[in-house]
Structure formats: structure tokens, C-alpha cells
């Protein structure tokens, strides 16, 4: 569709009517009214819930059209929007929903409209409203049961694209090995780590700080070390990017998809979305269950290799957290989130002796 609305107030009744008509869900109904409310706490984009009013069709036809939808827009903040566009974050997500979502049993939202401009900074995605499902809260550690549900979904994604060569050269699937060997990531980490420490360093002990120093100095080793079978990773698989509705989960925010280990998303979730003491108590059991699930879905991996890759991939959350905070304006809620995440991820790496994997070959 042309003339992509980039802010909620720009989205007209006519645009929504055309989008839903093209999606084949109006069944003779016509959109006659909209109202919206901004939802979520995202930093790289803005989400709004649009309630929709219809006329011109039977009650049955109107009941089949969505009463509300969730619409994703670029970030209102110019810096965040430009950065996301330059990194391909918006493009990656649009392409994922177009081409890769149908290839996995992992639950993702039904998409009604999905378009992006050539500059890759202006986009719109209209998706089903998953209410009453709600995202997790990064400030509250997830329960063991919800962690099990989340890892079951992660296994579906990992298995669907395991050893799939068709995704290796897609320009919307990130791979530091295929681009610059992690050189840019290490340069950015070395640039922003001192500032990050000045903001958040008071929240973790000397051992965790020392691990952070080691990681920042050796990021390229981590980025290029894993040479085993790869799969598609969500990349930011944490509780606030998952909509929970009892046992039914739906994963959203696909802006950081990449190539990686089948353990990447599982390690990131347990490291960043579960309290440290709970993660320590549960991780052996949950990773063993995750390995069993992977094998049931056709992934050839032993318990020993699952654990080794889990330990190594514990480092996945560090770059995302450090640079995510560094590229975001300070705010009480987001700073609390980044603090919780860096505390958990660093402690996970220390507990698992992930520094073993930062030694150059």
C-alpha cells in the first residue's frame, strides 16, 4: 500500500478500510470510525491499539471483522527511528512476517497489513489484537511454569530453521560472521561501555564488572566462535516480547532476527527474564527439558552439547543490553529494566564461567 502512515494520528479511516479489505476480513463491512491508545514500553518503535467501528454489513459479517487491531509504527523519537532504520530493525521485522513466520509452528500474530518504505525508516504493521494476552514484565522474574512455556515456543523456532541454508544469505537475517566478524559490535561496545558503567555500574559487583570488561574486549571472539549448526534466532526473546495467555503464548517484536545456535534464545530468556536465584535453581532442569523438546522436533543435539552451548550463549544478552541502554534516552522505567537485565545477564555469565569461551583459538 502507498502513503504509509508513520504516526497513529495519521492513520485514517480510509487507510484502515483499504488495508482490512485487502486482507479479506471485512466481509462486506465498512470501517467508519477509529480510536487509538498507545500501548507498551518499546524504545525502538511505538505500538497502538485501534478500536474499529463498522457499518454496512450483517451483524455476522461485522462480528468476523476485527473489533480491534495492534498497529506498529516507527519510533516517534528521531534518533531512535534513524538508528532502527539504519540497523534494518524495521525491515527485518516486516520481512520476517512476510516470508518466515509461516514456516514455523511458533505462534506469531496474524498480520493484516505489513509495508515498509524504501528508506527503511517508515513502516507499518497491522496485526491481530491478542488481548487478553499481555506481555511479561522484565522487572518481575518469570515463574518456572511460564519459563517452560516460553522455552517450548523457542524450541519450535529453533527446530523449524535448524541447518536451513535458505536463510543464510537473506539480507534481513543478521550474521556478524557474514558481515564484519563482529568488528563493529566490538567497536561500539568499547565506545559505550565506560558510559554504560557510569550509569549502571553501581548495580553489580566487581566480579560481574570484570566479566563485562573481558567481554567488551573480546566480543569478536564471541561473535565468530560458534561454528556449529545454525538456526534462526529471535534475538530479543524476553518476557516483554512475549504475550502470555495462560498456556497460549504469542511471540512479537522480530526486529533482531539472526543466525545462531539453537540455544541462543533459550539462554537469553533464562538469563534476562528470570530472577538470578530462580535461574540457578531451575536452569539444569529447564535446559534438559529444552534439549528433549529439540530432539523430539528433529534437532540432533546431546544433553552435553545443549549445556555447553547454553553456557556460551549466556553472553548473547550483553551486547543487546549495553547498546540498547546506550542508544536510549534515560527514563525511570527503561533504566530499571536495563539495570535488571544487565545484573541478571552478567551474573549468569559469571555463574556459568562463560569466560572460557572468550579465549582466542
Same domain, 119 and 143: no
Q: Is the pLDDT of residue 291 over 80?
A: yes
Written as nine digits, the cell of 330 is 534515560
Same domain, 122 and 151: no
> Considering just the CA atoms, what is the radius of gyration of the chain in Å?
21
On whether residue 2 sits in a domain, the answer given is: no
How does pLDDT run across 112-153, given as a tens digit for each residue? 999 999 989 899 999 999 999 999 999 999 999 999 999 999
Same domain, 114 and 156: no
Pair 323, 186: CB distance under 8 Å: no
Structure confidence at residue 85 as a pLDDT band (50, 70, 90): confident
Least confident of 48-62, 154-168, 216-230, 287-301: 48-62
- Reduced to 3 states, what is the DSSP secondary structure of residue 354? helix
Stretch 84-102: mean pLDDT:
93
Max avg pLDDT among 12-16, 86-90, 171-175: 12-16
CATH number at residue 256: 3.90.1200.10
On whether residue 1 sits in a domain, the answer given is: no
On whether residue 336 sits in a domain, the answer given is: yes
Same domain, 179 and 320: yes
Stretch 298-324: mean pLDDT:
97
On whether residue 108 sits in a domain, the answer given is: yes
How does pLDDT run across 183-194, given as a tens digit for each residue? 999 999 999 999
CA distance 13 to 54: 10
Q: Is the pLDDT of residue 1 over 60?
A: no
Q: Is the pLDDT of residue 361 over 90?
A: no
Q: Is the pLDDT of residue 179 over 80?
A: no
Same domain, 81 and 96: yes
pLDDT at 236: 97
Written as nine digits, the cell of 39 is 500501548
Same domain, 37 and 154: no
Same domain, 166 and 32: no
- Report which of residues 42 and 117 the model is more confident about: 117
Same domain, 209 and 326: yes
How does pLDDT run across 257-288, given as a tens digit for each residue? 999 999 999 999 999 999 999 999 999 999 99
CATH number at residue 34: 3.30.200.20
How does pLDDT run across 211-237, given as a tens digit for each residue? 999 999 999 999 999 999 999 999 999
Q: Is the pLDDT of residue 2 over 60?
A: no
On whether residue 117 sits in a domain, the answer given is: yes
Closest to 12 in 3D by CA, of 27, 34, 40, 30: 34
- Report which of residues 10 and 41 the model is more confident about: 10
Written as nine digits, the cell of 186 is 566490538
CA distance 230 to 60: 47
On whether residue 298 sits in a domain, the answer given is: yes
Q: Is the pLDDT of residue 327 over 90?
A: no
On whether residue 236 sits in a domain, the answer given is: yes
b vs e for 153-191, b when ≥16 Cβ sit within 10 Å of the residue's Cβ? bbbbbbbbbbeeeebeebebbbebeeeeebeebbebbee
Same domain, 92 and 221: no
Same domain, 200 and 302: yes
pLDDT at 172: 95
Same domain, 110 and 259: no
Residue-range definition of the domain harbouring residue 258:
134-358
pLDDT at 26: 92
How does pLDDT run across 53-74, given as a tens digit for each residue? 998 866 666 667 999 999 999 9
On whether residue 263 sits in a domain, the answer given is: yes
Domain end among 128, 144, 172: 128
Stretch 77-94: mean pLDDT:
86
Q: Mean pLDDT over all residues of the chain?
A: 93
Number of domains in the chain: 2
Structure confidence at residue 43 as a pLDDT band (50, 70, 90): low
Domain end among 128, 146, 179: 128
pLDDT at 176: 74
- Report which of residues 87 and 183 the model is more confident about: 183
Structure confidence at residue 44 as a pLDDT band (50, 70, 90): confident
Domain end among 95, 128, 161: 128
Same domain, 96 and 213: no
Amino acid at each position: 500500500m502507498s502513503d504509509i502512515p508513520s504516526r497513529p494520528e495519521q492513520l485514517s479511516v480510509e487507510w484502515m478500510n483499504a488495508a482490512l479489505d485487502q486482507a479479506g476480513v471485512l466481509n462486506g463491512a465498512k470501517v467508519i470510525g477509529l480510536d487509538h491508545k498507545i500501548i507498551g514500553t518499546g524504545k525502538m518503535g511505538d505500538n497502538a491499539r485501534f478500536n474499529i467501528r463498522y457499518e454496512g454489513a450483517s451483524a455476522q459479517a461485522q462480528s468476523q471483522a476485527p473489533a480491534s487491531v495492534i498497529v506498529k509504527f516507527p519510533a516517534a523519537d528521531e534518533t531512535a527511528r534513524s538508528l532502527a532504520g539504519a540497523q534494518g530493525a524495521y525491515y527485518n521485522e516486516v520481512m520476517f512476517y512476510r516470508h518466515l513466520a509461516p514456516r514455523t509452528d511458533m505462534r506469531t500474530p496474524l498480520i493484516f497489513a505489513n509495508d515498509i518504505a524504501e528508506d527503511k525508516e517508515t513502516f507499518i504493521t497491522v496485526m491481530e489484537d491478542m488481548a487478553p494476552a499481555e506481555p511479561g514484565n522484565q522487572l518481575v522474574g518469570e515463574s518456572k511454569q511460564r519459563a517452560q512455556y516460553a522455552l517450548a515456543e523457542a524450541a519450535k523456532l529453533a527446530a523449524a530453521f535448524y541447518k536451513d541454508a535458505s536463510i543464510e544469505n537473506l539480507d534481513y537475517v543478521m550474521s556478524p560472521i557474514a558481515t564484519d566478524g563482529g568488528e563493529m559490535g566490538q567497536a561500539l561496545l568499547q565506545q559505550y561501555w565506560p558510559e554504560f558503567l557510569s550509569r549502571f555500574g553501581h548495580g553489580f559487583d566487581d566480579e560481574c564488572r570484570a566479566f563485562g570488561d573481558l567481554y567488551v574486549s573480546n566480543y569478536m571472539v564471541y561473535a565468530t566462535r560458534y561454528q556449529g549448526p545454525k538456526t534462526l534466532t529471535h534475538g530479543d526473546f524476553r518476557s516483554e516480547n512475549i504475550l502470555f495467555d495462560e498456556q497460549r503464548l504469542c511471540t512479537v517484536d522480530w526486529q533482531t532476527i539472526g543466525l545462531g545456535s539453537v540455544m541462543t534464545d533459550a539462554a537469553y530468556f533464562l538469563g534476562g527474564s528470570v530472577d538470578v536465584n530462580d535461574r540457578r535453581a531451575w536452569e539444569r532442569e529447564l535446559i534438559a527439558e529444552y534439549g528433549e523438546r529439540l530432539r523430539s522436533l528433529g534437532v540432533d543435539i546431546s544433553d552435553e552439547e545443549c549445556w555447553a552451548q547454553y553456557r556460551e550463549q549466556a553472553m548473547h544478552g550483553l551486547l543487546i543490553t549495553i547498546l540498547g541502554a546506550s542508544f536510549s534516552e534515560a527514563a525511570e522505567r527503561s533504566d530499571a529494566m536495563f539495570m535488571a537485565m544487565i545484573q541478571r545477564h552478567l551474573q549468569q555469565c559469571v555463574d556459568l564461567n562463560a569466560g572460557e569461551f572468550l579465549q582466542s583459538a
